[in-house]
Amino acid sequence: MMEIFEEAASGITNRYITDWVNSGKKVIGYTCSFLPPEIFHAAGILPYRLRGITTESMEISDAYYGPYVCTFPKCLLQLAGEKKLSFLSGAVISTGCDAMRRLDECWRKTGEDYPGSIPDFFHYFDVPHKTDPHAIQWFENEIRKLIRKIETDYHVNITEENLKQSISLYNHGRMLLWEIEKQRSLKDAKISGTDAFSIAVAGTVMPREAFNDALEQLLPDLSRQKSNPANGNRRIMVAGSINDDIELIRLIENAGSTVVADNICFGIRSESDQVDMDDEPISALTRHYLSNSVCPRMFGAYRQRFDLLKAKIERAGVEGIILQNIRFCDLHGSENGLFERDFEKMGIPCLRLEREYGPLTETGRMKMRIEAFLERMA
């Protein structure tokens, strides 16, 4: 059963996307976990969380971004320039951080210079950095603007009923993912961190119906399965910058640990929170997606994020935290310093790890640090 998730998580495209596109249906890529994929689903469009893995060079994207910028948006731009994202009929860029916001301008320019590298539907979706009433109103307007644009450009009607059905389906997926989270955090975990992470990543690029069905089949298998004794493996939580590369988690586990929790964009963050089904759907989506201040892009919510990590540590019996960040990621780079200070004070060992996004070419360097960290905890 795991093969379905691994296959979907291991490349920028997968057989579900191929089948979807071959049947004449549309795919829209998006860049940020603050964007509700339910909107696309309600329009009959496959939401696809944009990924940059498998990028081998930066010769296109470096020309637009320069060398001293986070490699994640650069990998996306490189793939777009190489026309490897041509299965997309649309893309929505958000202001996750400054480097991601600039992807909007850089991709538009790349589209002029490399014909065919930008999809027809290209939209900028703004996300406020606060959760006060004015910001909530603003975010709701952004959602309504996006809905109108999809309706106009794709000639569809996103009804309240469709949105409610999509929310219900996504809520069910969140609940199933939370079950996976419970299984991985058991004393003798039933699923490795690498597998749990593969599932979470697959969920961002698979049709939700197929994802939920596959999880429904996997979960009973897991509970019947014998537990994997921890065998002295250290229980690690991985947090920090965006990651969709399962090899990073595998590298950490192969060094002699089990990743029993994570707090990474693409990972399992706060799936126990459900979108309110009793409220009017746009209002419910607005509140759900903006109030989850799990990312340091949100202003003034450090304490909330610290408490989220603390709750995960307690629930999963985490013994050490790997705080990784992509080079030049100012948001996670600085927040990791605060987490390190505060968690070390509580007696929880932390390792700060800087890395590049993309193919794990630095495995030797990272392995040495991870192994030394695990030795320190021994």
Partner 1 sequence: MSIVAGCDIGSLTAKAVIMENGRIISSALLRSKTNPQLSAEAVMKEALSKTALSMDNIQFFVGTGYGRKNISFVNQAISEIACHGKGARWLIPGARTIIDIGGQDCKAVRLDQDGNVVKFVANDKCASGTGRFLEVMARLLNISIEELGGLSSRSTAPIILSSTCTVWAQADIIKYINSGHKIEDIGAGVNSAMAKRAAILANSVGIEPDVCMTGGVAKNEGVVRDLEKLLGKNIKRTRKADPQIAGAIGAAIFAMEKVNGRSK
Residue 370 to residue 253: CA distance in whole angstroms: 10
* Closer Cβ to partner 1, 310 or 327, answer by number: 327
> Does residue 376 belong to the site contacting partner 1 (CB under 8 A)?
yes
The DSSP call for residue 227 is P
Amino acid identity for residue 311 in this structure: A
* Closer Cβ to partner 1, 23 or 378, answer by number: 378
Residue 326 to residue 338: CA distance in whole angstroms: 16
* Closer Cβ to partner 1, 165 or 363, answer by number: 363
> Does residue 153 belong to the site contacting partner 1 (CB under 8 A)?
no
Q: Which residue in the set 356, 359, 360, 363 belongs to the binding site for partner 1 (CB under 8 A)? A: 356
CB 185 within 8 A of CB 314: no
Among the residue ranges 77-85, 206-214, 237-245, 360-368, the one whose residues contact partner 1 (CB under 8 A): 360-368
249, two tokens: 């988690």
Tell the smallest beta-carbon distance from residue 192 to partner 1 (Å): 22
* Closer Cβ to partner 1, 111 or 359, answer by number: 359
Among the residue ranges 36-44, 242-250, 293-301, 365-373, the one whose residues contact partner 1 (CB under 8 A): 365-373
Binders of partner 1 in range 293-352 (CB under 8 A)? 327, 344, 352
Kindly compute the dihedral angle of the four CA atoms of residues 258, 297, 200, 188, in this order, to the nearest 10 degrees: 30
* Closer Cβ to partner 1, 164 or 327, answer by number: 327
Residue 376 to residue 192: CA distance in whole angstroms: 22
> Does residue 368 belong to the site contacting partner 1 (CB under 8 A)?
yes
The pairing of beta strand 90-94 with beta strand 121-125: parallel
Tell the smallest beta-carbon distance from residue 68 to partner 1 (Å): 11
CB 269 within 8 A of CB 204: no
Which residues are within 8 A (CB) of 230 and not within 5 positions of it... i.e. 6 or more apart? 187, 188, 189, 258
Residues that bind partner 1 (CB under 8 A): 327, 344, 352, 354, 356, 362, 364-365, 368-369, 371-372, 375-376, 378
